[in-house]
Structure 1
Amino acid sequence: MAECPVVQIACGNIEGRSCLRAKPKRSKQVFRYAGIPYAKPPTRELRFERPQRCSSWNGVLAAVEMPPCPMQNADAGKATDHLLTTVNQFDEPFSKLDEDCLHVTVYTTNPSKTANMPVLYWIFGGGFQTGGASGYDAQALCGLHDVVVVVPNYRVNIFGFFTMGRETAYPGNMGLWDQVMALQWTRDNIREFGGDPENVTIFGESAGAVSVGLHLFSPVSRGLFHRAMQHSGAANLQYIVRKEYTGALKAYLKALHITATNQTDIIAHLKRLPAQEIIEKTKSLGPKLDIFAVVVDGDFVIEHPSKLLQQGHTTPVPSIIGCNSTEGACLLRTTRPKIFFSSSTEKAWFEKAKVFMLDNMQYKLEKVDQALETVKSIYEKDFSDNDPLKWERMASAFVSDPLFLVPSISQALLHSGNGHPTYFYFMKHRMKCYYDDDFSMEMKKRDEFCECDHSDDIYFTFGVPLMQGNKSRECRFSEDEENLSVIWMKYIANFALTGDPNMGEKVDHEWPKYEPHGRLHLSVDVPIKEDDHLIEERYKMWKKTLPALEM
């Protein structure tokens, strides 16, 4: 294992560590620089404030251990531990939490100013409530391709999105401003790690994909990135961005026993509380969805993204957008059961679908029964009466479509229609470790109706089937899955280099551009193939038929 070079950046010198090499023989040595501060600790008086640039340090910073994850409800992460596996090549404490969390981790094969490699800037998911940089290991993505990968932490939940209102001193979205500062840090320092600051691709999954969409719409982020990839998330989803969080504010103040009414007194009290006490006393609010998340602040988010998209206010960069085939069938049923519901009978489907339409899609009570009859008539065309899992499949698709596929397709159509290169994918691969004990005895087995679940694409984006190192849950991958990972990472690296997933390293199957007239997309499975007009009739129903009923 080669010795990791010391890197000098604006704030001081940094010592990293050498990673294990990925399995393929052609894999290069990857160096990891973990936990580099990009902002001052957002604690005490800096809690709920926008990030401030960090100070310089003397000597050599030992950037050898993964930084703690942002403060969050640790129990929420434990709820999905049995559903996922992550590579932990140095046996580090990935579950460690700290309010002092504003760090970046950089992976590179050549920390030289002259390397000029494209940069991939990953934004983690977690519904803006949980998550962190730990677990996103780039030993394969960097080792097999000449790219530099940057993974920042950003604040989540109340610590990252607390707001008292748009016109107050606390308009919210600190977590998004963290992402901006980490992008600025990348622009100013990435050349020292071998990266090209003029070729930065932002990409992310779930809330990370929503974040990418928000950066595409925000004037604040212009010039800090040059391409964008969104995995299972779109910012133009109506309910994901709100105009205010008055209900959440009241719920948090009540849970924390804060009776002050003056904003100055409220903030002073909140800043004095230990971070863990805030987490412990507000745990019950998460399942009720009394939470802080993205808000229209008039600065970073100037208007709801759905309106900005319609008006064409998007950064003109090449874009990849996509979803998985059964986003709401497993993982999200565990973390958000009120939204991603289960139903084994027609009666259960109607009852739970009605609640979903009223609570999450804001349909009028007097219109919802008529809307559901329309939904049922359209969806039954795609699900056979002879299928014993028909109503489970319909429940998964019914929720996944409006929350993932429909907004993603809408964004792709308008981005492409505005003349920007756009590529769409639909991942369908069923991973063997979730169904076959020969591939894993530790991974919880999925129901048959779950095909490619929320977050499955991350395994292939980072090349987990090709990685060396301990896994949080033991599993192995098939030869087909290893090959699919090679193919998928090749598309990503090509896109990062050129803005076209087909240009760069040779690909076996050309990924067609997504355009309004043909709507061609890449169907990602074994084998990969081209397809078109994804969920076309269901898309028309959500975009035209159902809105017309509301008029």
Structure 2
Amino acid sequence: MRPAVYFAPFLLCVAAASYPRRPTAVVDAGTIVGVTTSLPSSTVTVNKFLGIPYAEPPVGSRRFLPPTPLTRFKKRSFNANQWGKSCHQRNEAESDVSNESEDCLFLNVYTPAACSKKKLPVLFWIYGGNLQDGNSGRKAFDGTSFATNHDIVVVTINYRVNVFGFPSSPALPLTKSNPGFLDQRLALEWVQKNIHAFNGDPKKVTIGGESSGASSVDRLVDTFAPPLIPPFRAASLSSGQASVSGIVRDQGPSSWVALVSTLGCNSTSSKAELACMQAVDALDIRTVVTSGELDWTPVTDGVTQVELPYLSSRIAGNAAQVPVYIGTSAQEGTTLARSYNLDIPNFTDEQMTYLLNTFTGSNETLVGLFSNLVHSIVETDGLSLFYAAAQSYTELVYQCPAKLVAQATAQSGLPAWRYYHNISFPNIYLNDDPNTYPKFGSFHTADHGLIWGNYPTENATLVEVGLSKTIQAAWAGFVKDPWGEGPGWDRVDENGSGLACFGCDGGTGVTLIDEPQVDVRCPYYDLLYKSTKTPLF
């Protein structure tokens, strides 16, 4: 294999020069043939290698188990010219199941086609979706803009979600109970072994993600404490983390029991139940999963997920010793209106009490505390009842944890930067619904298209175009120089101060804002953070 290690980048350059539409790379499993692309406004060529399998199909007796590395392609060369199928979804499942499969453990590589002796930094991206959904084979995760404008290599991956990735079967050994997270780790191993073939530097990998992708990133940081050597040198997180939580979510074991019963796999032995479930048709499992009545959550195994809160451990250095870039959007919680079909203008105290009971497990004390907090926000901030409740949720779940993680990172002596996204645009709306603008504001995932440069170009404003360039440059700057300048502004200090805002001034640049302006209520949530043992997502 040594010749492949030394000559694979050369082969990639030769193929790109001789066959501009068929770039070629050699990896451990064989030869990969990709495609080329260019942005409409650019002369830069990007090589795309799509749908590369990194594991054996997790089907049959491999279902619910840790992934098995793929050692060789079935054919002499692998045609990587289209995205692979997504793993089976829960909430985002389509009526046409042809785009989904259990055979879904693929990854995609986007790399500048220009030949260079210098290895390039790598952004390794993990998608979000509440650990129930997600797919890297989407335009939203096309890395062409990053590769074109910032000369970095982008890797996006598929990993198993919902019951296929987090089954909670008692028959599984504890350390093998989160195959979805183990998929992510295997994909990282693949990058360490093979990214040189795409002119990427395995020593300069930054892991990144959004929502539960960000919480997956944070789990990797928390679980690669010394003396372990992390397969990454930096971590970037958008709207998520997994070191502190204020809401309990642990229905995985009860959901597994219900699923086993529904599919007729009850047995006196958990091993027999698992074997039965491995033999059930995947589409039958999918039918129950997509009903939406069951919830699938990871287990705390000490390997891929730690018990919370983990902030003091982070401060003490019991985490990967890497820089962190973390941020949130200003109105993350407005998506509650979509999730619970709420009428925003007519949101009532009764509906708020229902939500609070859902989030707190009907804890009367907590319901009372949060009800009082929401009403105080109505009075102090001049918000309606719904927007006050959404603001409290934003702070509890996203904003204040981001501050705490950034502050803990700084207190441990590592570089940390934090951002705050606070702007909305008329062509960026939730779930393709124009009615969510402007009432959802800077909602959860609203900055995603701006980060990737894949926002809708139709009706895009000049500020939107310019701000996307600024945001993407900040992410790329962190990928390139996480121990130095990072995204380009002052680091967070040990007091948690240091917050940069995208959009606060309505322009295309970055403004530094007074952190207490947005974090003033964060101490209010400490009681919940101290008592919650598992991440929300």
Note if contact 2:219-2:306 (Cα within 8 Å) is conserved in structure 1. no
| CA displacement at 1:76 relative to structure 2 | 2.7
Note if contact 2:29-2:71 (Cα within 8 Å) is conserved in structure 1. yes
Q: Which amino acid aligns with 1:13?
A: T
Correspondence 1:206-355 to 2 at 5 A = 206-219=211-224, 222-238=229-245, 245-284=252-291, 286=292, 288=293, 290-304=294-308, 306=310, 308-309=313-314, 312-330=317-335, 333-334=337-338, 336-337=339-340, 343-344=344-345, 348-355=347-354
Q: Which amino acid aligns with 2:416?
A: T
TM-score by length of 2: 0.85
Map of 2:11 onto structure 1: none
| CA displacement at 1:399 relative to structure 2 | 1.8
Q: Which amino acid aligns with 1:407?
A: P
Map of 1:107 onto structure 2: 110
Judged with a 3 Å threshold, the aligned counterparts in structure 2 of structure 1 residues 119 and 172 are, in CA distance, closer, same or farther, namely: same
1:428 aligns with 2:431: no
Note if contact 1:371-1:546 (Cα within 8 Å) is conserved in structure 2. no
Question: Of 67, 81, 89, which residue of structure 1 is paired with 2:84?
Answer: 67
Note if contact 1:494-1:501 (Cα within 8 Å) is conserved in structure 2. no
| CA displacement at 1:24 relative to structure 2 | 3.6
TM-score by length of 1: 0.83
| CA displacement at 1:282 relative to structure 2 | 3.2
Gap regions ≥5 residues in structure 1? 80-92, 385-389, 466-470
Note if contact 1:428-1:523 (Cα within 8 Å) is conserved in structure 2. yes
Map of 1:364 onto structure 2: 363
1:36 aligns with 2:52: yes
Judged with a 3 Å threshold, the aligned counterparts in structure 2 of structure 1 residues 362 and 9 are, in CA distance, closer, same or farther, namely: same
Question: Of 461, 469, 478, which residue of structure 1 is paired with 2:461?
Answer: 478
Note if contact 2:407-2:493 (Cα within 8 Å) is conserved in structure 1. yes
Map of 1:89 onto structure 2: none
| CA displacement at 1:311 relative to structure 2 | 5.4
Question: Of 514, 519, 535, which residue of structure 2 is paired with 1:532?
Answer: 514
| CA displacement at 1:456 relative to structure 2 | 1.6
Question: Of 420, 442, 458, which residue of structure 2 is paired with 1:452?
Answer: 442
Greater alpha carbon shift after TM alignment, 99-108 vs 240-249:
240-249
Note if contact 2:51-2:82 (Cα within 8 Å) is conserved in structure 1. yes
Judged with a 3 Å threshold, the aligned counterparts in structure 2 of structure 1 residues 131 and 256 are, in CA distance, closer, same or farther, namely: same
Greater alpha carbon shift after TM alignment, 35-44 vs 493-502:
493-502
Note if contact 1:122-1:203 (Cα within 8 Å) is conserved in structure 2. yes
| CA displacement at 1:418 relative to structure 2 | 1.2
Judged with a 3 Å threshold, the aligned counterparts in structure 2 of structure 1 residues 360 and 304 are, in CA distance, closer, same or farther, namely: same
Note if contact 2:48-2:109 (Cα within 8 Å) is conserved in structure 1. yes
| CA displacement at 1:110 relative to structure 2 | 3.4
1:55 aligns with 2:71: yes
Correspondence 1:489-528 to 2 at 5 A = 489-499=472-482, 502=485, 510-517=488-495, 519-525=497-503, 526-527=506-507, 528=510
Whole-angstrom distance in 2 between the partners of 1:360 and 1:236: 18
**What SS does structure 2 have at the residue aligned with 1:523?**
strand
Whole-angstrom distance in 1 between the partners of 2:425 and 2:483: 27
1:264-307: CA deviation from partner (whole Å, max 9, x where unpaired): 210111011111110113322x2x4x322221023322433536
Note if contact 2:315-2:411 (Cα within 8 Å) is conserved in structure 1. no
Whole-angstrom distance in 1 between the partners of 2:363 and 2:386: 25
Map of 2:127 onto structure 1: 124
Judged with a 3 Å threshold, the aligned counterparts in structure 2 of structure 1 residues 275 and 305 are, in CA distance, closer, same or farther, namely: farther
Map of 2:412 onto structure 1: 418
| CA displacement at 1:392 relative to structure 2 | 2.7
**What SS does structure 1 have at the residue aligned with 2:333?**
coil
| CA displacement at 1:357 relative to structure 2 | 3.1
Map of 1:394 onto structure 2: 388
Aligned length, in residue pairs:
501
Map of 1:82 onto structure 2: none
Whole-angstrom distance in 2 between the partners of 1:270 and 1:546: 36
| CA displacement at 1:23 relative to structure 2 | 3.9
Question: Of 176, 181, 184, which residue of structure 2 is paired with 1:176?
Answer: 181
Judged with a 3 Å threshold, the aligned counterparts in structure 2 of structure 1 residues 315 and 321 are, in CA distance, closer, same or farther, namely: same
Map of 2:535 onto structure 1: none
| CA displacement at 1:501 relative to structure 2 | 7.9
Map of 1:7 onto structure 2: 25
Whole-angstrom distance in 2 between the partners of 1:516 and 1:383: 32
Note if contact 2:403-2:496 (Cα within 8 Å) is conserved in structure 1. no
Whole-angstrom distance in 2 between the partners of 1:546 and 1:362: 15
Note if contact 1:108-1:149 (Cα within 8 Å) is conserved in structure 2. yes
**What SS does structure 2 have at the residue aligned with 1:464?**
coil
Note if contact 1:343-1:395 (Cα within 8 Å) is conserved in structure 2. no
**What SS does structure 2 have at the residue aligned with 1:32?**
strand
Note if contact 1:138-1:149 (Cα within 8 Å) is conserved in structure 2. yes
Map of 1:380 onto structure 2: 379
Judged with a 3 Å threshold, the aligned counterparts in structure 2 of structure 1 residues 12 and 416 are, in CA distance, closer, same or farther, namely: same
1:334-377: CA deviation from partner (whole Å, max 9, x where unpaired): 3x328xx55535xx443233333333234631453244224422
Note if contact 1:349-1:395 (Cα within 8 Å) is conserved in structure 2. no
Greater alpha carbon shift after TM alignment, 124-133 vs 358-367:
358-367
Note if contact 1:165-1:171 (Cα within 8 Å) is conserved in structure 2. no
1:194 aligns with 2:172: no
1:163-202: CA deviation from partner (whole Å, max 9, x where unpaired): 2249747852101000000000000000110100000000
**What SS does structure 2 have at the residue aligned with 1:481?**
helix
Note if contact 1:423-1:514 (Cα within 8 Å) is conserved in structure 2. yes
Map of 1:84 onto structure 2: none
Note if contact 2:31-2:76 (Cα within 8 Å) is conserved in structure 1. yes
CA RMSD of aligned residues (A): 3.0
